[in-house]
Amino acid sequence: MAGPSWLAWTFASVVILVAGYCLTRLVASWRRHRPSDHRIDVIHVLMGVAMAGMLVPRLRVFWVGGWEVVFGMGAAWFGWLAIREFRGRPTVGGRPGHHLQHVLGCGAMLYMFLAAATVAKAAAGGSAMGGMAAGAAHFPTLALVLAVALFGYVVWTADRLSSLTPVAALAARSVPVPVLAGAGPGGGTSIVAAGGEGGHGTPGSDGQAPAGQARQAPLSPRLAACCEIAMGVTMGYMLILMI
């Protein structure tokens, strides 16, 4: 049992759009020296390509196998970052370890590919998602749990969306780093958490913001958060379809 093809195309278009946008972010960040979390942009590009191929087999323009390794490594990498973040700054923000969101995303992708592999033969000639659903994925309860957790992150991200000011993705805005006076711990923690929610609001992957220097504005944190939402909803749809 699979969803209608137009719906698969719709969701595939959404994730391709997200992947394309994140690719643009990577290029813009490199060309214009705009701060962005490259790790998250890269994983979104990979997820977008992989999910589009799962939703619509005709969109499998890249390799077919090996995605399990890619997302397994992604889950391990973001897991390591989450642990490091948790150990390093246990009191930052209301939710230590926002990388957990990406651990969950990579884990969901891994689950979907592993489940799809078990029914790939049954899906010969049909869509990958159709095959996955027809084969009744192993551990359907896990699929539901993953989907619910992803929706939790989606609403959490959407809640914080209004805290992020739109910043033109291609604007070459240079701003000075303000003097730190007045940046109290309370405000500081909330801001870091808000930027971290989208995963793109921090000034750079190294977390350095040298005072006194002019810095470029970060690539639109609000659009980046919207990418998280779009990816979460689509991934949740795919997981539910596998039940």
Partner 1 sequence: MASQAADARARAGWLRGIGAVHEESWTAPDVRRRLQLALAGIWLLDAVLQFQAFMFSRGFSQMLGATAAGNPAVIADPINWSAKIIAGHGTLTNAVFAFIQLAIGLGIAWRPTLKLALGASIVWALGVWWFGEGLGGVLNGAGGPANGAPGAVIIYALLAVLLWPGSRDRAAPFVAGRFTGANVARALWLVLWGSLAYLALLPATRAPKALGGMVSGMASGQPGWLSSVDNHLGAFLTSHGPATAVILAIVLALVAVSVCLPRPAARAGVVLAIVTAAFIWIAEGLGGMLTGGGTDPNSGPLLALVAVAYWPLASSALSATGQPNRIATTQPESPEGA
Binding-site ranges for partner 1 (CB under 8 A):
1-4, 7, 88-89, 92, 94, 133, 140-141, 144, 147-148, 151-152, 154-156, 158-165, 167, 173, 175-180, 182-183, 185, 187-192, 194-195, 201-203, 207-209, 211, 215, 217-218, 221, 229, 233, 236-237, 240-241, 243
Measured CA to CA, the distance from residue 8 to residue 60 in angstroms comes to 14
In the numeric block, which tokens belong to residue 40? 């998250």
* C-beta of 19 vs 137, nearer to partner 1: 137
CB 185 → partner 1: shortest distance, Å?
7
Contact by Cβ (8 Å): 20, 27: no
CB 199 → partner 1: shortest distance, Å?
13
The CA–CA distances, whole Å, from 91 to 37, 94, 123, 180, 227 equal 21, 8, 48, 19, 27
* Cα angle value 100/204/167 (rounded, 5°): 95
* C-beta of 2 vs 50, nearer to partner 1: 2
- Which residue shows structure tokens 């029914």? 119
CB 63 → partner 1: shortest distance, Å?
28
CB 187 → partner 1: shortest distance, Å?
6
